Amino acid sequence: MRGPPWPPPEGDDPTAPPARRATGGGVDTGRNLAEDPPTVNRNPIGEGSQGRGRPMPNRIVVTGASGQLGSYVLDRLEGTAREVVGWSRSTGGHRGRIPIVPVDLADPGALAAALDRDDPGAILHLAAVSRVDEARDNPERARRINVEATGEIADWASRRGRRLVFASTDLVFDGSRPWWREEDPAEPILAYGRSKREGERAVLRHPGLLVARIGLLYGPSRCGRPTSLDCLLDALRRGERRALFEDEFRTPLDYATAAEALVLLLDRSDAIGIVHVAGAARVSRFELLRRLASREGMPADLIVPNRQADSPGPEPRPADVSLDTTRLAEWLPGLDRPALEEGLERCRRWG
C-alpha cells in the first residue's frame, strides 16, 4: 500500500493521528495519565528532598552525552543554572562549561562507582547500542548496555528517590499499523527494538520513573560524527542516486525540539510511565529525504522510491511505527514542536 498523497486535499490530512479516546496511562503505570495529565511540578530538580531531611542534589547526569541527541541536550542545558555532568563511553573533556567524563556502562562496577561519585538528583539516560545492525550482530553488548545497565541505573534512582528519564525508541512496535499509543502492546521485531523494550521493562518496574519513546530524529550533527541523513545528503551532493523506502513510515522530529522536550520532562517529576516524543506528521523515509533535498536545491531524480519487499534485509523491518503524541501535547502544552516543513527549514545548516 502506498502512502498518502502529498500535500493532502484541503481539510483532509491523512498524516494526522485519529482522534484519541480518553484512555489510561497503560498497564505499566496503573495511573490514568491520558485523562489526568500531570500538573506543573512545583518542586524542580534540586528543590525537593530525599526523605531524610537532606536536600536532593541539583546535579543532572546525561548519559550518551557525546552522541547526536546528547550533544543537543548538553547545548540546551548549558545556558541554565544547573550543574550538569555528561557521561560518554570514551570521550572526556568539556562541552561549553559542562564536563564530559568517560564512564563505561559495559562495566557494572564502573557504572555503580560513577553513580555514587556523581550522585545526581536526575538522570537523562540516552546511552544505547542504537545501530540496528550492531544490536543484531552483537547481542551480548546490546543486552548489557540497553537492558542490564539501564536496569542498574533505574534501581539506583529508585532506591534514592531520584528522577530518571530513559530514552527508548519507536522501534519497540511491530509496525503493523499507524499511530501507536503509549498503552498499545509493544512487540518489537528487530533485535534492537527487543533490547530497548527489555530496558523499558527494567525502568517501569519502578514507580515514579519515565520512559520517553523517541521517533526518527533529523538535524545537522553537533557531535563531530555524521548522521545517517548527513551521509545521504553527501551522496546526493556527489551526484549519487539513493533509494529509500516509500512504505516505511515514521513521525520525524528535529534534534533540538527532542532535546527541549526531554529537558522539560526531566523537570516534571509527576510525569511517569511512558510518553512518545516525536513529530506530528507521518511520512516515509523516501518522502522525508525528498523534502529535505528539495530545500537544499538538490535534483529530485537522484532519490528513488524503494519498497521493503524488494530489498529484504537480515531482519524484517517494521513498516509503520508512527507515534501518537497526544500525551506529549497534554503534558507539555508550551512545547514549540514545529511542523515538518518548518523543522526542515530550521535545519538548513546542512547546506
Mean per-residue pLDDT, 98-115: 98
What is the pLDDT, as a whole number, of residue 347?
A: 81
- Residue that has been written with the C-alpha cell 520512559 in this structure: 211
What is the pLDDT, as a whole number, of residue 300?
A: 82
Which of 51-60, 245-254, 342-351 is least confident?
51-60
Which of 22-31, 105-114, 263-272, 286-295 is least confident?
22-31
What is the pLDDT, as a whole number, of residue 330?
A: 97
Q: Is 295 helix (H, G, I), strand (E, B) or coil?
A: helix
pLDDT in tens, 18-61: 555 433 333 333 333 333 334 334 344 444 333 333 445 589 99
What is the pLDDT, as a whole number, of residue 333?
A: 96
**CA–CA distance, 49 with 28 (Å, rounded to integer):** 26
With cut-offs at 50, 70 and 90, classify the pLDDT of residue 251.
very high
Between these two residues, 40 and 259, which has the higher pLDDT value? Answer: 259
**CA–CA distance, 175 with 87 (Å, rounded to integer):** 32
Q: Are residues 317 and 308 in contact, defined by beta-carbon separation less than 8 angstroms?
A: yes
Name all domains of the chain by residue range, CATH numbers in brackets.
60-225+252-280+323-338 (3.40.50.720)
Give me the DSSP letters along 42-111: SS-TTSSB-SSSPBPP--EEEETTTSHHHHHHHHHHHTSS--EEEEESS--EEETTEEEEE--TT-HHHH
Phi/psi of residue 136, each to 5°? -75, -45
**CA–CA distance, 99 with 241 (Å, rounded to integer):** 41
Give me the DSSP letters along 119-187: --SEEEE------HHHHHH-HHHHHIIIIIIHHHHHHHHHHHT-EEEEEEEGGGS--BSS-B-TTS---
Q: Is 36 helix (H, G, I), strand (E, B) or coil?
A: coil
pLDDT in tens, 185-238: 999 999 999 999 999 999 999 999 999 999 999 999 999 899 988 899 899 999
With cut-offs at 50, 70 and 90, classify the pLDDT of residue 170.
very high
**CA–CA distance, 216 with 173 (Å, rounded to integer):** 13
* Mean pLDDT for the chain overall: 86
What is the pLDDT, as a whole number, of residue 19?
A: 56
Give me the DSSP letters along 205-261: TSTT-EEEEE--EES--SSSS--HHHHHHHHHHTT--EEEESS-EE--EEHHHHHHH
Q: Provide Rg for the chain, Cα atoms.
A: 20
Mean per-residue pLDDT, 72-87: 95
Mean per-residue pLDDT, 269-297: 94
pTM of the prediction?
0.85
DSSP lists the bridge partners of residue 84 as 60
